[in-house]
A and B are shown apart, each in its own frame.
Chain A
Amino acid sequence: MSGEAARISAHLTRRARWGAGEIAFWIGLVALIFVAPSRALLINEILIAGLFALSLDLILGYAGIISLGHAAFFGVGAYGAAILASHGINDPIVGLVIASLIAGLVGLASAPLVLRGSDLTRLMVTLGICLMLGELANKNSWATGGADGLSLELTPIFHLFPIGFTGQRNAALYSLAVLFLLFALARRIVQSPFGLSLRGLRENRLRAGALGISAPRRLIAIYALAAVYAGAAGALVAQTTQIVSLDVFDFHRSADALLMLIIGGTGFLYGGIIGAALFIAIKDGLSTATPEYWEFWIGLLLVALVLAGRERIGARIAGLLPRRARGSAA
């Protein structure tokens, strides 16, 4: 009897254990920064985009909430960090934490608006909130610098490691540390009873209700958490580039995060990071090879991806690999 219960418990918690592949993934990221210090700027960009896409995955992949205005929280985080730095809070970690929490509060306040209505209204409401916040940042130039933007003066991390243009490797390591901590927290949360209830709400709202789950509170909680994550990504961009301008609220930022998730896959947390790496690497490669037409190729790739399906493309590629390579990959 207890043997069966242990087997059930092992099945239910099977995803909670860190796999060898996962550990290798994170060690690989650290190694990459040390092996390719000249690419630290690009790696940093990928890590931050990965965090932003992870944030979108929390609401899209786990709660089924679609958003075209997720940059709203990214922008609040970025401006939060910059404004704090311009008011004498120059410690990056303190600034990051406060800016993320401010973004979370904005998420909490806007969640009830986003959660009513259908997917189409959600797209419009999220887009509208992002536009409004962008315009507020533009108009209130006394705080945000308006179209000129704001630059940040920060103290080194732990007063030892300067980040920014003089410390690009440090900046990438800083972003990686933040990404890892937030990832580990998200990983834990999606395995929790709360995370399971979100999956339930996404898979079958009617049945979830019949089990006594009241959807709004759960969805508001995850939406606010995702806003904290997006705010952290925005704060990282501001701190590691030491400048913030109105483009943090750009529509393409929200859309890119969605594309990264589509490329990498939703609902398994790594999808955002993998998608960000592929998207930015492809963009980087294409814009070097064909500076004028790279968007054409990105577009073609996306159409192919969505129409053919990632799984099928993956299977096709796996089919092309020699048998032995497939065996060792699995």
Chain B
Amino acid sequence: MNAPALETRGLACRFGGLIATDNVSLNLAPGARHALIGPNGAGKTTLVNLLTGMVKPTSGQVLLQGEDVTALSAHARVRRGLSRTFQINQLFPDMTPAEQLCLAVGERLGEGGNWRGIAGADRAMASEVEDLLRRFDLMSVMDQPTRQLAYGRQRLLEIALALASRPRVLLLDEPAAGVPEGERADILAALAALPADVTILLIEHDMDLVFRFAQRISVLVAGRMLMEGSPAEVAADSRVREVYLGADAHG
């Protein structure tokens, strides 16, 4: 029996009188493709912040591969194998894609405190950066300032950076948000090609993407877990239809 890759137990978070997360229990098996959906204001962002350690829960636990990480800081959780992407690009605009991937890989290798070597001189480092650039089709723009890249490319770099940390669990926060129609296929292909052993939690508005990608779906409404099931079960659930898909259909 393997421990779940990511688990929450009775996670709750209150901001004053507001209950943003209410007794949420999640359980992601290793290698899972799990989606988290819910209408605006359901508490998806708060839940991501609780998982990554940016916000401390009022009560409950977060477990990473069976270990309680609730007390750990955000960067300590990254080192334990929990990475994330951001809904709004969080890149290094004045670095090139190669430079920021070199930074991300260097941090994973614990090289960030090294002041004697030269960043990127190492062959193993260069070939790992190469691998990431190829995987996300960024090779042709590897030496251009990131701020000049097309939005779709920046979105791919956002995922590449998270993957450079070699996460066991990857949280994707609306990876296709704002991507123009013509570049969406690249994002979908990149998501489909993510390593199978990495456990993925996809937070997404786009139902088309969710139903194509996820094997399991959790529905969050008003901070509570409404239900969890296979895509077919979720699609058939009348409560989900009512609070989410129904509301969507009516505009």
Contact = CB atoms under 8 A, between A and B. Distances in A.
Determine if chain A interacts with chain B: yes
Interface in A63-112: none
Secondary structure class of chain A's binding surface, majority of residues: helix
Contacts of B98: 8, 11-12
A195 B104 contact: no
Given A5-B126, A12-B99, A189 B115 contact: yes
A188 B83 CA distance: 30
B59 to A, nearest CB: 25
A266 interface: no
Interface stretch (B13-21, B105-113, B237-245): B105-113
Nearest to A200: B103
Given A8-B142, A12-B102, A210-B52, A203 B95 contact: yes
A9 B130 CA distance: 9
A13 B121 contact: yes
A16 B108 contact: no
A204 B78 CA distance: 16
Interface residues of A, number: 35
A8 B113 contact: no
A193 B108 CA distance: 12
A74 to B, nearest CB: 23
A217 B113 contact: yes
Contact of A204 (B92, B127, B164): B92
29 contacts: A5-B126, A8-B133, A9-B121, A13-B118, A13-B119, A13-B120, A16-B118, A188-B115, A191-B119, A192-B114, A192-B116, A192-B118, A193-B103, A194-B113, A196-B103, A197-B106, A197-B112, A197-B113, A199-B94, A200-B92, A200-B95, A203-B93, A207-B86, A210-B83, A210-B90, A211-B107, A212-B75, A212-B79, A213-B107
Interface of A: 1-2, 4-6, 8-9, 11-13, 16, 188-189, 191-197, 199-200, 203-204, 206-207, 209-214, 217-218, 221
Given A8-B130, A191-B118, A210-B74, 8 more contacts: A5-B126, A12-B99, A16-B118, A192-B116, A196-B103, A199-B95, A200-B92, A210-B83
